[in-house]
């Protein structure tokens, strides 16, 4: 679906549209279904103009008939006023970046005959976008050079080939050959849903006039560590130096990411964080005055749940400070102010993502700016006098907002989904705290069915989150949408059990290396809390989870619990087979499994198979290389062998997550059919 013609002034996405939307009467409102949810527009991370006056975001829409996504760039004045659609091409545009003079926006897209994503440059004042690269291996994550005449980008290339023609030929040969074997000498071999090939990520510079790109890191002896997301590198404000992450592990299975710098002109690369040998140094960002380099550091090997410290390096002396010393939160998101006097970023902070201000000198403690009362605020961007971000909640998808850095007030800029949401009757959302394992305070989200009547009794659907070192914050989920489940007639909960992030490092780390028992107890105590409520029917409770959440749900399956049925997606069911199945399994922080098999015996859900008796819906994707398909098959076959009512829903073309629209709608329909058959939804007297 398109929003309109090029450069059309669009009220549709602007905040102004809220005022003009026809009011929808309560009785006309409907509960949101999975299909409705797929009709919502998805607003991605903003890119703020250098003067801070306008923000560009990519807005995606999905077509349920074709399963296709279209994404276009929209420009929003930060102070309000109508949004302007910048692109209408059927291809999805991404990675938007403003030129230093604010006159152009570069982005990546696979348009027309492009076989891989290329960089395009669009004049902001009007005119067509012009393609500036023709790189057979694709151009990703562009950043402008300081003079505005060129860009640096990343491409994944074979390092034994010296020309783009040779790269193109090998790509063609690999596509055409009937010999499909892959060979590795070093781990990792895969990332989430794809096998890694024998290429490396390297940086190139290109002029915007379309001259052949020039290699920067190729020949330096190191390559860029990159899996997904935004640009992992930054260019110094004088346009002379680039900082980028490198995995210096020579063995495989002991990843050690250090930050390197290299001249934009190429040459030798220098490791600037060689002393941190046990954790990743990442996300380098130069201060606008060019004096400092901010980056994240973790130091505990194999523990992604470690709080990321925010480090600031003096580029002249190399002296480096941890400016978040004593801050018991992870500072993984940050953006410098123009005067280099502060940084702002979103923090996973006790069940909500809130914006904090950091002092680059480390004298002032990180200061909370937004209070979290209106949902998660993430993806913070600072420029000129503006601070923009995305805001979302359990009941509303992300929209672009402006933040007042002094008062913390959050103001809507986009309203891409205001009209659609006005037609839905959402359930009330509450944050509660109960006493969990070891008498600790556990935060839990409760989402009530629309038209909830506290004098009646409702069934409960307890959702168990993944990670485990993640948290359920006030965010809109497309994969496990609590409002869709509440619309079926359940009181839905998400509890942030021990191990969750955002509640302090000790709480996060309290389930290592014993993954099962304490989160299990937290879940049972959450069930007790619910069962004691007059509005809950304790004989109509179910639990559902995915990934680590599927681990904990299958751990529950082999133990005492009050649930009438369980829904288990992409579960880590067998810790023996998960152990070395992917990159996470390869990072043993404590003992290797052959040195501590008792831990696996205590913690692996499959060891309790002899006690399985609860009807269970098992779901898994074939392309899941994070938790491979064997887990779902083992769990289902074991339930069948024990004569326990069970059903396996298998997705041949989905990975760790169900991401395709029609498959997702089918996933929701299977979960709805199964849960309703085992736990009657809706109120009873």
Ligand X SMILES: CSCC[C@H](NC=O)C(=O)N[C@@H](CC(C)C)C(=O)N[C@@H](Cc1ccccc1)C(=O)O
Strand partners, 9: 84
We find the least distance from the C-beta atom of residue 368 to ligand X, in angstroms, to be 23
We find the least distance from the C-beta atom of residue 605 to ligand X, in angstroms, to be 12
Q: How far is CA 485 from the centre of its chain?
A: 22
Q: Indicate the Cα dihedral angle 356, 362, 363, 365, nearest 10°.
A: 30
Q: Decide whether 84 or 656 has the Cβ nearer to ligand X.
A: 656
Asked whether position 606 contacts ligand X by CB under 6 A, the answer is no
We find the least distance from the C-beta atom of residue 667 to ligand X, in angstroms, to be 14
Q: Decide whether 173 or 228 has the Cβ nearer to ligand X.
A: 228
Q: Decide whether 303 or 529 has the Cβ nearer to ligand X.
A: 303
Strands, E assignment, 186-240: 190-191, 194-195, 200-207, 214-215, 234-235
Asked whether position 603 contacts ligand X by CB under 6 A, the answer is no
Binding positions for ligand X, 388-407, rule CB under 6 A? none
Give me 498's structure tokens: 């021990």
Strand partners, 106: 97, 121
Residue from 34, 293, 543, 572 touching ligand X (CB under 6 A): that is 572
Q: Decide whether 239 or 545 has the Cβ nearer to ligand X.
A: 545
We find the least distance from the C-beta atom of residue 465 to ligand X, in angstroms, to be 7
The answer to whether 85 and 93 are in contact (CB under 8 A) is no
Q: Decide whether 77 or 467 has the Cβ nearer to ligand X.
A: 467
We find the least distance from the C-beta atom of residue 345 to ligand X, in angstroms, to be 17
The answer to whether 670 and 664 are in contact (CB under 8 A) is no
Q: Decide whether 192 or 452 has the Cβ nearer to ligand X.
A: 192
Q: Under DSSP, is residue 629 helix (H, G, I), strand (E, B) or coil? A: coil
Asked whether position 88 contacts ligand X by CB under 6 A, the answer is no
Element (H, E) at 381: strand 376-383
Written as one string, the DSSP assignment of 404-463 is: -TTT--EEE-B-TTHHHHHTB-PPPEEEEEEE-GGG-EEEEEEEPPTT--TTSBEEEEEE
Question: Which residue's CB atom is positioned nearest to ligand X?
Answer: 466
Asked whether position 574 contacts ligand X by CB under 6 A, the answer is no
Which of the stretches 17-25, 88-96, 159-167, 545-553 binds ligand X when contact is defined by CB under 6 A?
A: 545-553
Residue from 447, 627, 658, 679 touching ligand X (CB under 6 A): that is 627
We find the least distance from the C-beta atom of residue 196 to ligand X, in angstroms, to be 16
Residue from 548, 555, 651, 674 touching ligand X (CB under 6 A): that is 548
Instruction: Report the C-alpha gap between 101 and 175 in whole angstroms.
Output: 41
Q: Decide whether 419 or 630 has the Cβ nearer to ligand X.
A: 630
- φ and ψ at residue 599, rounded to 5 degrees: -60, -45
Q: Which residues of 184-217 are buried (b: 16+ CB within 10 A; e: fewer)?
A: eeebbbbebbeebeebbbbbbbbebeeeebbbbb
- Strand ordering across the sheet containing 234-235: 234-235, 241-247, 257-263, 270-271
Residue from 656, 661, 678, 683 touching ligand X (CB under 6 A): that is 656
We find the least distance from the C-beta atom of residue 582 to ligand X, in angstroms, to be 7
**Other residues' Cβ atoms within 10 Å of the Cβ of residue 238:** 11
Strand pairing class (270-271; 257-263) = antiparallel
Strand partners, 74: 57, 85
Q: Decide whether 93 or 474 has the Cβ nearer to ligand X.
A: 474
Which of the stretches 29-37, 308-316, 544-552, 554-562 binds ligand X when contact is defined by CB under 6 A?
A: 544-552
Residue from 134, 523, 547, 675 touching ligand X (CB under 6 A): that is 547
Asked whether position 584 contacts ligand X by CB under 6 A, the answer is yes
Which of the stretches 44-52, 85-93, 527-535, 540-548 binds ligand X when contact is defined by CB under 6 A?
A: 540-548
Binding positions for ligand X, 227-286, rule CB under 6 A? none
Q: Under DSSP, is residue 631 helix (H, G, I), strand (E, B) or coil? A: helix
Residue from 626, 649, 668, 671 touching ligand X (CB under 6 A): that is 626
Q: Decide whether 152 or 567 has the Cβ nearer to ligand X.
A: 567
We find the least distance from the C-beta atom of residue 479 to ligand X, in angstroms, to be 7
We find the least distance from the C-beta atom of residue 316 to ligand X, in angstroms, to be 35
Q: Decide whether 584 or 662 has the Cβ nearer to ligand X.
A: 584
Q: Which one-letter DSSP state was computed for residue 173? A: H
Q: Decide whether 33 or 470 has the Cβ nearer to ligand X.
A: 470
Q: Decide whether 449 or 628 has the Cβ nearer to ligand X.
A: 628
Stretch 494-533: interaction string toward ligand X, x if CB under 6 A: ----------------------------------------
Stretch 301-340: interaction string toward ligand X, x if CB under 6 A: ---x------------------------------------
Q: Decide whether 416 or 658 has the Cβ nearer to ligand X.
A: 658
Q: How far is CA 614 from CA 138, 610, 637, in A?
A: 49, 12, 14
Asked whether position 470 contacts ligand X by CB under 6 A, the answer is yes
Which of the stretches 130-138, 278-286, 462-470, 642-650 binds ligand X when contact is defined by CB under 6 A?
A: 462-470
# residues near ligand X by CB under 6 A = 12
Instruction: Report the C-alpha gap between 578 and 504 in whole angstroms.
Output: 27
Which of the stretches 149-157, 178-186, 283-291, 543-551 binds ligand X when contact is defined by CB under 6 A?
A: 543-551
Q: Which residues of 268-296 are buried (b: 16+ CB within 10 A; e: fewer)?
A: ebeebbeebeebbbbbbbbbbebebbbbb
How would you class 366 by CB atoms within 10 Å of its CB: exposed for 0-12, middle for 13-18, buried for 19 or more? buried
Residue from 239, 466, 487, 499 touching ligand X (CB under 6 A): that is 466
We find the least distance from the C-beta atom of residue 67 to ligand X, in angstroms, to be 21
We find the least distance from the C-beta atom of residue 298 to ligand X, in angstroms, to be 12
We find the least distance from the C-beta atom of residue 657 to ligand X, in angstroms, to be 6
Asked whether position 132 contacts ligand X by CB under 6 A, the answer is no
Question: Nearest to residue 192, comparing CAs of 602, 624, 532, 648?
Answer: 624
Asked whether position 546 contacts ligand X by CB under 6 A, the answer is yes
Q: Decide whether 51 or 634 has the Cβ nearer to ligand X.
A: 634
Phi-psi region of 337 (alpha: psi -120 to 50; beta: other; left: phi over 0): beta
Q: Decide whether 91 or 581 has the Cβ nearer to ligand X.
A: 581
- φ and ψ at residue 200, rounded to 5 degrees: -130, 155
The answer to whether 44 and 94 are in contact (CB under 8 A) is yes
Q: How far is CA 533 from CA 11, 128, 536, 538, in A?
A: 45, 61, 6, 9
We find the least distance from the C-beta atom of residue 526 to ligand X, in angstroms, to be 18
Q: C-alpha angle 388/359/326, rounded to 5°?
A: 110
Instruction: Report the C-alpha gap between 132 and 73 in whole angstroms.
Output: 18
Task: Give residues in contact with ligand X (CB under 6 A).
Answer: 304, 466-467, 470, 546-548, 572, 584, 626-627, 656
């Amino acid at each position: 679906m398109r929003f309109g013609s090029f450069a059309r002034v669009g009220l549709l996405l602007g905040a102004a549209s809220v005022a003009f939307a026809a009011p929808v009467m309560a009785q006309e409102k409907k509960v949101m279904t999975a299909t409705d949810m797929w009709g919502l527009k998805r607003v991605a991370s903003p890119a703020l103009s250098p003067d801070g006056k306008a923000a560009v975001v990519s807005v995606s829409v999905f077509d349920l008939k074709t399963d296709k996504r279209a994404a276009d760039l929209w420009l929003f004045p930060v102070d309000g006023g109508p949004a302007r659609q910048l692109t209408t091409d059927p291809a999805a545009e991404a990675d938007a970046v403003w030129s230093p003079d604010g006159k152009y926006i570069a982005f990546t897209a696979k348009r027309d005959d492009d076989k891989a994503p290329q960089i395009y440059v669009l004049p902001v004042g009007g005119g067509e976008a012009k393609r500036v690269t023709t790189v057979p291996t694709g151009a990703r994550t562009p950043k402008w050079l300081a003079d505005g005449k060129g860009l640096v980008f990343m491409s994944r290339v074979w390092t034994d080939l010296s020309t783009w023609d040779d790269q193109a030929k090998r790509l063609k040969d690999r596509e055409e050959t009937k010999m499909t074997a892959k060979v590795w000498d070093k781990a990792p071999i895969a990332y989430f849903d794809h096998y890694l090939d024998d290429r490396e990520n390297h940086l190139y510079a290109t002029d915007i006039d379309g001259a052949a790109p020039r290699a920067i890191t190729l020949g330096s002896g190191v390559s860029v560590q990159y899996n997904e997301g935004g640009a992992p590198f930054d260019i110094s404000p004088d346009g002379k130096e680039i900082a980028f992450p490198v995995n210096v592990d020579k063995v495989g299975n002991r990843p050690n990411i250090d930050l390197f710098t290299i001249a934009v002109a190429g040459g030798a690369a220098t490791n600037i964080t060689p002393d941190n040998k046990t954790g990743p140094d990442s996300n380098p960002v130069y201060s606008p005055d060019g004096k400092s380099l901010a980056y994240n550091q973790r130091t505990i090997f194999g523990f992604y749940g470690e709080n990321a410290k925010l480090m600031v390096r003096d580029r002249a002396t190399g002296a480096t400070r941890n400016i978040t010393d004593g801050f018991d939160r992870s500072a993984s998101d940050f953006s410098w102010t123009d005067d280099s006097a502060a940084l702002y970023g979103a923090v996973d902070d006790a069940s909500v993502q809130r914006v904090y201000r950091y002092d680059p000198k480390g004298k002032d403690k990180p200061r909370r700016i937004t209070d979290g009362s209106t949902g998660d605020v993430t993806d913070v961007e600072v420029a000129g006098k503006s601070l923009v971000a995305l805001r979302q909640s359990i009941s509303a998808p992300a929209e672009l907002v402006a933040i007042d850095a002094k008062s913390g007030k959050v103001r809507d800029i986009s309203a891409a989904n205001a009209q659609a949401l006005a037609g839905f009757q959402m359930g009330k959302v509450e944050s509660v705290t109960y006493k969990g394992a070891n008498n600790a305070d556990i935060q839990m989200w409760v989402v009530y069915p629309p038209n909830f009547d506290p004098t009646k009794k409702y069934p409960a659907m307890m959702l168990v989150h993944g990670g485990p070192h993640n948290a359920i914050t006030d965010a809109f989920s497309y994969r496990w949408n609590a409002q869709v489940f509440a619309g079926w007639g359940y009181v839905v909960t998400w509890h942030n059990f021990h191990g969750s992030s955002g509640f302090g490092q000790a709480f996060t780390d309290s389930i290592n290396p014993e993954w099962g028992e304490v989160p299990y107890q937290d879940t049972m105590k959450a069930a007790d809390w619910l069962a004691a409520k007059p509005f809950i029917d304790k004989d109509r409770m179910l639990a559902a989870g995915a990934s680590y959440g599927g681990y904990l749900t299958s751990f529950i399956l082999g133990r005492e619990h009050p649930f009438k049925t369980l829904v288990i997606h992409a579960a880590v069911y067998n810790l023996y087979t998960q152990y070395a199945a992917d990159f996470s399994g390869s990072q043993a922080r404590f003992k290797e499994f052959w040195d501590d098999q008792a831990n696996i015996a205590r913690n692996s859900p499959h060891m309790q198979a002899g006690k399985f008796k609860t009807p269970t819906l098992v779901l898994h994707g074939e392309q899941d290389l994070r938790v491979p398909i064997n887990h779902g098959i083992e769990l289902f076959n074991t339930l069948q062998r024990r004569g326990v009512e069970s059903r396996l829903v298998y997705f041949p073309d989905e990975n760790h997550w169900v991401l395709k629209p029609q498959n997702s709608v089918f996933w929701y329909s299977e979960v709805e059919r199964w849960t309703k058959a085992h736990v009657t939804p809706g109120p009873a007297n």
